[in-house]
Structure 1
Amino acid sequence: MSKLYLFLSVGLMFGQVSRACDDGNEEEQLAAARYQSEEYFAKAYGYDPVSWNALYYPKTAQVPGYGIPYEGRTASSSLQSRINPHKKYYNSRTYTDENANLAEGRFALGGLGASIINTGLFNNRFSPANTWRPFANFANRIPVSYNPNFDNPLDTFDACTSPSGDAGICVPGSVCSLFRGRPSGSCVLGKVCCVNAVTACGGTVTLNNTYWQSPTTPVSASSTCALTIRLDTKFVEQLKKPICQIRLDFVSFTTAQPTLGTCVDTFQVGGSSSTVPIICGDNSGQHMYLDVPSSALIPTDVQLIFSFGTGTTTRSWNIKIALLPCGASYLAPTDCLQYYTASTGKVKSFNWQDTTGGAIRQLNNQNYNICFRTELISGQRATRMCLSICSVANAGDPFSITTSAAVVVGNTNMGAISVAAAQINAAFPNSNVGTTVSAAGTTLVATCLYDFLLIAGARDANGVEADRYCGNHLNPAVGTALVPGAATSVQVCTPVRPFRMTYRTDGTEAAIAALNVPTVPAFAGADTANTGFCLDYQEQ
């Protein structure tokens, strides 16, 4: 019997020890899970799981939990971007299990092989003049798969800024040479900030932060110059970040001025799902956002095309091309050709310049949205946006959209109509507002029907409100038939969020003598030296 008691005692003792060990394992597992949590790592070390986002356009503070679809276009919880790259250092056992469950063929050299094959080393994607490509399709014939756990030096391509202020990508020096870039400055881990530029017509761009610059030989004759932006996740430089949007920054842009609002030299975009107007003239400092289908779903070619007319006008450009990945926090809302992400700034129509001369700088056939991100003002979300005309130093006209014109009803003599319009504008360089046609006696006045700037809910300090603005001043005041609005510009503010404006012009600056309802519902006199607009905006 004593032997039986002894045996039971030993068994109970081992059971307690076993439970103690289990408890210790459980505590270790809980601690490991805690260390693996992204929240713990972020709080303890300031880790940003979307580190690539912070390297592009610096963003000001935003309000968490936006519920507006317009500003909630970008996903805030991308599974790919929420992977903790340091996870394996906290629990090697879990990391080993993950490695054991990797699919066949996901080896470190597999990713490197795909990188080498897909770069210009074999297929010469970055040497258009060399047409010999013996391995052009080799990458599609061998079963090489990509291993996301392998830190491949060829496929990071994070954005950077060189000491000279040019944008580039972080890559090893040898890779920068491979893509014929120019090393300028340094990045982490011994990489260089590689600045890429294309200075020829007919090239192809696949790299983020590439500059398309005008050829060294001046363009002075009738010709065409085009560039293709190719989006495809088969390219190693786009492998980890499928592209959903392209941003064009016109560092410099000078072509011929329009004739009566119609471009002689044209710049147009093809292959984008955005509606992009044809532009010309002086557009340095302007930008565009181009929506494209996700390159993870379908490859896309976007064309940038210059077409030059005859003449010896100087044509030069330097356009930065940024490839914006799906889910990035800095994507523009859908259908916004321009997007401003600061609480204050300046917004201009294409080809507006602070210059005199009386030439028509307003471009025909403009129809696009200008959007503004809602910012935090003193720790709270902005409740309104205010707009006022820009200060000009060279006597330029900061607001001139459609001449304020009066037309005699039933008079088909357009010479008489033009004279009447000119006389009225000489005496009353005023504003126009509204969306209707007003009549007084024998006079019919078209107000903001054909060319206008739409600011929903905008009102002045006295509470006078109007949605469409045109004429020679920014002012919601309504006048008489012969003097449609006020002769001064004032500040207007809108509480309508999300903040946005719509700019629209028709296809002519000439007088409208024939009606075609509903597109041409009223007569109008010829426009006189319209320049477009330049406005200072401020969120409050």
Structure 2
Amino acid sequence: MSKLYLIISVALMVAQVSRACEEGNEEEQLAAARYQSEEYFANAFGYDPSSWNALYYPKTAQVPVYDGPYEGRTVSSSLQSRANPHKKYYGSIGTYVDESANQPEGRFALGGLGASIINTGLFNNRFSPANTWRPFANLANRIPVSYNPNFDNPLDTFDACTSPSGDAGICVPGSVCSLFRGRPSGSCVLGKVCCVNTVTACGGTVTLNNTYWQSPTTPVSASSTCALTIKLDTKYVEQLKKPICQIRLDFVSFTTAQPTLGTCVDTFQVGGSSSTVPIICGDNSGQHMYLDVPSSALTPTDVQLIFSFGTGTTTRSWNIKIALLPCGASYLAPTDCLQYYTASTGKVKSFNWQDTTSNAIRQLNNQNYNICFRTELISGQRATQMCLSICSVTNAGDPFSITTPVAVVVGSANAAAIGAAVSPNSNVGTTVSNTAGNTLVATCLYDFLLIAGARDANGIEADRFCGNQLNPAVGTALLPGATTSVQVCTPVRPFRMTYRTDGTEATITTLNVPTVPAFAGADTANTGFCLDYQEQ
């Protein structure tokens, strides 16, 4: 059959060439052929090669000028080319009709490529415009081809990349990078550039993957707000390939005012996410967050990142990398995991923990989130346990300080004196009992780190840890816990921890059951935690 098609096509081409020569209009025929070639190339791929050099966009009108900085707020229906690339081919062909305006978006990969090869490269240039009979025009489209959105085709655009300087970006043609006001840094396949996108304004909007939100170049004034909106919607061409189900925030740098008695004066908070995201402040460079959102293919979502600054002259600066993670990706964090670690060893810290000699309270109030760890392969097999130990410090910082344990338990009549004497010991469990006054005094009830199934080398097990040491040793009512930290390991999978703090660092002298079921002493310069983890 293929031989028959070849014989027919050769005969038709010979006949057309002969007729063109007989009519004496060779120049017009060549112009028509070039016009048809460009037109069908654009139709087959759904884009204008001279203005986009990408394989995903129909020809549209020029992008309108925005009053503010343009930051990727591009809807697929608003991207338009700036000039008609076929103007030089008009001549005696007649009025140009933009047939690609009716082409659906995303006519892509094998279907479009096959149509281009068969229609443009082999046959269409051999027929004059007057002859509309094209026997092979729809041959490629009759081949059933489906496009898998999870297939990483090198022809796709907006794929992630890393620049030579280490910044994350997206692979796009140079003209598209300029359109989104990005910075080309490095190269990708097929002549694309690694485009690094940065937003430096308050009130901006982001729709592009791997965008950096940096603090404005002018100092941020006190008693002000700086916010950014992340728009998730598959109507944007930059999100057309895959719906988004998660956002990852990487705090490349993050410096705001320190909390007062654990309560943030400057605040960073997230709105629009289905995750439970605590308010944070202080020093958080190197930290990260995963934000769950509904699939953008089903529910368009706006997620807000909001800084609110109190009084004071503290330097505020940040650089936050925003990654948009597609639904179904293997690297998504489990549901309800604010942090997710994907290496067999590493370091995990509470927000605002620093290796510093300062005696200020760095532990943040009202923290309640899960920290999850992917089960890695160890010597070709899945890890069977995860072990945790306190970080080594060089600046005399405190790597574990969650709730200062009381050294002396007092009766209910002297509840205001609870915490007058404190201990540098560890603490586990929830409460201890004073046999004299029969008064419950909280230990790890309000502020704690929960590690299910954790035990030391001697098999002593606990799940709630607090105090000034990481140790499952059980103490007494007068002297809780131990004075040293040890390594604890848990076999419970999936590996995870839960960190929780209440809304105060002060003494609790008034009960309100069930939310405040026991007295508690005042916390003294709690810092949170820094732990080294290792899967085994």
Fold-level similarity (TM above 0.5)? yes
Report 1:504-519 matches (<5 A).
504-519=500-515
Q: Output one character per residue of 1:114-152: Cα deviation in whole Å (capped at 9) or x when no partner.
A: 999999999999999999999999999999999999999
| Conservation of the 8 A alpha-carbon contact between 1:386 and 1:494 | yes
CA gap 1:457/1:217 in 2 versus in 1, 3 angstroms:
same
Provide Cα deviations, 1:446-481, integer angstroms capped at 9, x if missing partner.
120000000000000000000000000000000111
CA distance, structure 2, for counterparts of residue 61 and residue 381 of structure 1: 54
What is the CA-CA distance between 1:267 and the residue it aligns to? Answer: 0.2
Alpha-carbon offset, residue 496 of structure 1: 0.2
Q: Which moved more, 1:111-120 or 1:37-46?
A: 37-46
What secondary structure does 1:530 align onto? coil
Distance 1:69 1:530, change over 3 A: farther
- Is 2:119 the counterpart of 1:118? yes
CA contact (8 A) 2:46 2:107 kept: no
Secondary structure (helix, strand or coil) at the match of 2:418 reads helix
Gaps of 5+ in 1: 414-420
Structure 1, 45-54 or 65-74: larger mean CA deviation:
65-74
In 1, Cα distance between the equivalents of 2:96 and 2:194? 32
In the alignment, is the contact (CA less than 8 A) between 1:403 and 1:471 conserved in 2? yes
Would the aligned equivalents of 2:412 and 2:437 in 1 still touch at CA under 8 Å?
no
* 1:430–1:409 Cα change, 3 Å: closer
Contact 2:250 2:286 in 1 (8 A): yes
Which segment drifts farther, 217-226 or 379-388?
217-226
Shift of 1:334: 0.1
Quick check: 179-188 or 57-66, which moved more? 57-66
- Counterpart contact for 1:49–1:84, Cα < 8 Å: no
| Mapped pair 1:434 → 2:429 | yes
Q: What secondary structure is seen at the aligned counterpart in 1 of 2:161?
A: strand
- Is the 8 Å Cα contact of residues 60 and 78 (structure 2) preserved in structure 1? no
Residue 400 of structure 1: how far off its partner (Å): 0.1
TM-aligned CA distance change 1:523 to 1:203, over 3 Å: same
Which one is further off, 315-324 or 36-45? 36-45
| Aligned equivalent of 1:418 | none
Mean Cα deviation higher: 96-105 or 124-133? 124-133
Deviations 1:480-533 (A, max 9, x none): 111110010000000000000000000000000000111111111111000000
Say if 1:289 and 1:336, in contact at 8 Å, map to a contact too.
Answer: yes
**Alpha-carbon distance between aligned partners in 2 of 1:266 and 1:301, rounded to the nearest angstrom:** 20
Q: Does the C-alpha gap of structure 1 residues 456 and 192 become closer, same or farther in structure 2, counting only changes over 3 Å?
A: same
Q: 1:346 to 1:471 in 2, by over 3 A?
A: same
Is the CA contact 1:49–1:83 (under 8 Å) kept in the aligned structure 2?
no
Deviations 1:55-110 (A, max 9, x none): 99999999999999999999999999999999999999x99999999999969999
Change (3 A) 1:442 1:69: farther
What is the CA–CA distance in structure 1 between the aligned matches of 2:138 and 2:446, rounded to whole Å? 52
The superposition leaves residues 306-363 of structure 1 with CA deviations (integer Å, 9 ceiling, x where unpaired) of: 0000110000000000000000000000000000000000000000000012100000
Residues 363-384 of structure 1, C-alpha deviation per residue, up to 9 Å, x if partnerless?
0000000000000000011000
Change (3 A) 1:512 1:179: same
Shift, 1:437, TM fit: 3.6
Q: Assess if the C-alpha contact under 8 Å between 1:60 and 1:375 holds in 2.
A: no
Displacement after TM superposition at 1:220 (Å): 3.3
179-188 vs 101-110, which moves further = 101-110
The 8 Å contact of residues 255 and 285 in structure 2, kept in 1 or not, is answered as yes
The residue that corresponds to 2:521 in the other structure is: 525
Q: CA deviation at 1:298?
A: 1.0
Greater Cα offset, 132-141 or 339-348 = 132-141
Alpha carbons of structure 1 residues 308 and 383: separation in structure 2 relative to 1, 3 Å:
same
| CA 1:215–1:479: 2 relative to 1, 3 Å | same
- Hey, what's the Cα distance between the residues in 2 that align with 1:266 and 1:46? 46
d(CA) in 2 for partners of 1:397, 1:118: 71
Residue 23 of structure 2: aligned partner: 23
**Aligned partners of 2:48 and 2:59 also within 8 Å:** no
Tell me if structure 1 keeps the 8 A contact 2:47–2:57: no
- Output the CA distance in 2 between the equivalents of 1:367 and 1:275: 8
Q: Distance in 2 between matches of 1:12 and 1:482?
A: 102
Report the CA distance between 1:435 and its aligned residue. Answer: 2.6
Displacement after TM superposition at 1:403 (Å): 0.7
Deviates more, 1:404-413 or 1:358-367: 404-413
Contact 2:174 2:193 in 1 (8 A): yes
Residue range with higher mean Cα deviation, 399-408 or 329-338: 399-408
1:362–1:401: 8 Å Cα contact kept in structure 2? Answer: yes
Q: Could you tell me whether the CA contact under 8 Å between 1:105 and 1:145 is conserved in 2?
A: no
- Gaps spanning 5+ residues in structure 2: where? none
Which string of whole-angstrom CA distances, capped at 9 and with x for unpartnered residues, describes residues 21-42 of structure 1?
9999999999999999999999
- The C-alpha deviation readout for 1:198-240, integer Å capped at 9, x for no partner, is 0000000000000000000111311000000000000000001
- Alpha-carbon spacing, 1:104–1:17, altered in 2? closer, same or farther (3 Å): closer
- For CA contacts below 8 A with separation 6 or more, give which structure has more relative contact order: 1
Question: Is this contact kept in 2: 1:361–1:531, CA < 8 A?
Answer: yes
For residue 445 of structure 1, the aligned residue among 441, 447, 450 is 441
Q: Deviation string for 1:377-423 (max 9, x for gaps)? A: 0001100000000000000000000010257555455xxxxxxx999
Contact (CA 8 Å) 2:223, 2:309: kept in 1 or not?
Answer: yes
Change (3 A) 1:314 1:441: same
CA contact (8 A) 1:111 1:144 kept: no
Give, in whole Å, the separation in 2 of the partners of 1:188 and 1:280: 41
Cα deviations across residues 228-278 of structure 1 (Å, max 9, x unaligned)?
000000000000110000000000000000000000000000000000000
CA RMSD of aligned residues (A): 16.2
Task: Give the distance between the partners of 1:44 and 1:128, measured in 2 at CA.
Answer: 18
Change (3 A) 1:380 1:108: closer
CA contact (8 A) 1:168 1:193 kept: yes
Deviation at 1:436, TM superposition (A): 3.5
TM-score (norm 2): 0.72
State the alpha-carbon separation in 1 of the partners of residues 376 and 82 from structure 2.
25
Bigger shift: residues 399-408 or 300-309: 399-408
